[in-house]
């Protein structure tokens, strides 16, 4: 048989290597199975199900979205002890959601969930809503940059909410890609030349400040993905439980140095240097802040991030300063978009299956209406 295959495919043919399942993979699989079973048990009990869904979503969303908020920070601070990073980022998390909780009367999402289609807290849960975070963990394990906004939020939204969020997210990708390309097409040559020398010590406090600001602004946008399972206004005990669970999950994530999906960042050109990481974070911070002011509608920050990284990578490839060459860069950018598109498709299908009032045609109409408004503007 092997001789026949060599005849057909050439002398270099060899059988594929057997799939290796490590002890960590086995632990992950068992954890998922337990999660599926627990979700099945608690789904008839909303008061318990909301906290189970929140715990799953809290870790899954931050584990996946760490690439876009603290991914470059983790990559460039690999020599620092993880608990110092945890103390820094955990304090910012508590301050950011605490401010929202006080100012907006118990709302920890900076009014992201007050947008039409998301303003009413769920009083019952569908099984798919509870396991959506587990599906996100599976995709994260496969290093796929999917949208947590669509995968988690879409199953709770009405049609109008999904259509608006979809348009805002895809327009965010285009804006980030173009801006990333224009900025780095101008500075990439200078950047590569300057980054040959060791970074000055004053870059460290600048990076910590920018990374902290980005983490805070991201929380203003994406805390809704986590809190969607909970009441729209949390009392004191619910708020303490909310912050404690997320801070503990953040500590686990930093201890693991971001997990496997961190490769999405490290495979890009010159991201482990503190100066390059700071420039990426600062540009991303500006874009997210713009969209925060633009509207209260939730959006996929994942699409914005991969757009920014894609535009930067293409610009560096044009000047032949990218690690992967021009064709290799196009493959990386295309792969990111493909994986994000798969996640988008899965999340919309979940929304359609869970919500009787949501249909693909209605989502399409909403998206088209938003596009027409932009064209007329």
The tens digit of pLDDT for each residue in 47-70 reads 999 999 999 988 888 777 766 666
Whether this model's pTM surpasses 0.85: no
Answer for the pair 218, 301: CB distance below 8 angstroms, yes or no. Answer: yes
Is the four-CA dihedral 351, 357, 360, 362 of positive or negative sign?
negative
| pLDDT tier for residue 169 given thresholds of 50, 70 and 90 | confident
Take residue 58 and report the two structure tokens written for it. 């809290």
Answer for the pair 268, 140: CB distance below 8 angstroms, yes or no. Answer: no
What pLDDT, on a 0 to 100 scale, did the predictor assign at position 49?
Answer: 94
Answer for the pair 68, 218: CB distance below 8 angstroms, yes or no. Answer: yes
- Average pLDDT, stretch 315-334? 73
Closest CA to 85 of 254, 226, 334, 201: 254
With a cut of 60, say whether residue 150 has pLDDT above it.
yes
Alpha-carbon gap, residue 66 to 85, rounded angstroms:
13
Q: How many CB atoms lie within 10 A of CB 136?
A: 28
The number of angstroms, rounded, from the C-alpha of 290 to the middle of its chain's C-alpha atoms is 18
Q: What b/e sequence results for 180-204 when a residue is b if at least 16 CB atoms lie within 10 Å of its CB, and e otherwise?
A: bbebbbebbeebbeeeeeebeeebe
Closest CA to 368 of 164, 147, 161, 115: 164
Q: Is 321 exposed, middle or buried (0-12, 13-18, 19+ CB in 10 A)?
A: middle
Closest CA to 161 of 13, 300, 18: 300
The mean-pLDDT minimum among 37-41, 241-245, 316-320 falls in 316-320
Alpha-carbon gap, residue 332 to 310, rounded angstroms:
8
Closest CA to 207 of 76, 307, 311: 76
With a cut of 60, say whether residue 83 has pLDDT above it.
yes
């Amino acid at each position: 048989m092997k001789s026949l295959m060599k005849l057909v495919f050439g002398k270099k043919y060899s059988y594929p290597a057997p799939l290796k399942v490590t002890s960590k993979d086995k632990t992950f699989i068992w954890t998922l199975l337990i999660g599926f079973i627990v979700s099945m048990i608690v789904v008839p009990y909303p008061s318990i199900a909301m906290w189970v869904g929140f715990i799953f979503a809290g870790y899954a969303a931050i584990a996946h979205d760490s690439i876009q908020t603290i991914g470059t920070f983790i990559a460039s601070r690999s020599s620092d002890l993880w608990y110092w990073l945890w103390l820094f980022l955990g304090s910012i998390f508590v301050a950011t959601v605490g401010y929202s909780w006080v100012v907006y009367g118990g709302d920890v999402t900076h009014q992201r969930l007050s947008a039409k289609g998301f303003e009413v807290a769920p009083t019952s849960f569908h099984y798919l809503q509870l396991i959506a975070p587990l599906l996100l963990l599976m995709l994260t394990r496969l290093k796929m940059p999917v949208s947590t906004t669509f995968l988690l939020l879409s199953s709770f939204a009405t049609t109008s909410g999904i259509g608006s969020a979809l348009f805002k997210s895809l327009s965010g990708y285009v804006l980030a890609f173009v801006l990333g390309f224009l900025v780095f097409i101008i500075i990439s040559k200078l950047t590569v030349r300057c980054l040959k020398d060791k970074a000055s010590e004053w870059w460290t406090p600048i990076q910590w400040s920018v990374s902290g600001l980005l983490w805070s602004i991201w929380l203003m946008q994406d805390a809704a993905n986590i809190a969607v399972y909970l009441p729209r206004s949390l009392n004191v005990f619910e708020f303490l439980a909310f912050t404690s669970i997320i801070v503990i999950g953040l500590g686990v994530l930093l201890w693991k140095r971001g997990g496997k999906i961190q490769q999405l960042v490290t495979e890009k050109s010159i991201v482990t240097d503190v100066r390059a990481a700071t420039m990426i974070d600062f540009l991303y911070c500006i874009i997210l802040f713009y969209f925060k002011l633009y509207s209260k509608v939730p959006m996929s920050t994942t699409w914005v991030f991969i757009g920014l990284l894609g535009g930067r990578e293409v610009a560096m490839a044009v000047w032949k300063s990218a690690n992967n060459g021009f064709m290799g860069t196009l493959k990386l950018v295309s792969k990111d978009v493909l994986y994000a598109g798969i996640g988008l498709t899965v999340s919309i299908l979940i929304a359609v299956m869970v919500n009787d009032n949501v249909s693909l045609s209605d989502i399409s109409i909403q998206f088209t209406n938003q596009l027409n408004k932009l064209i007329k503007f």
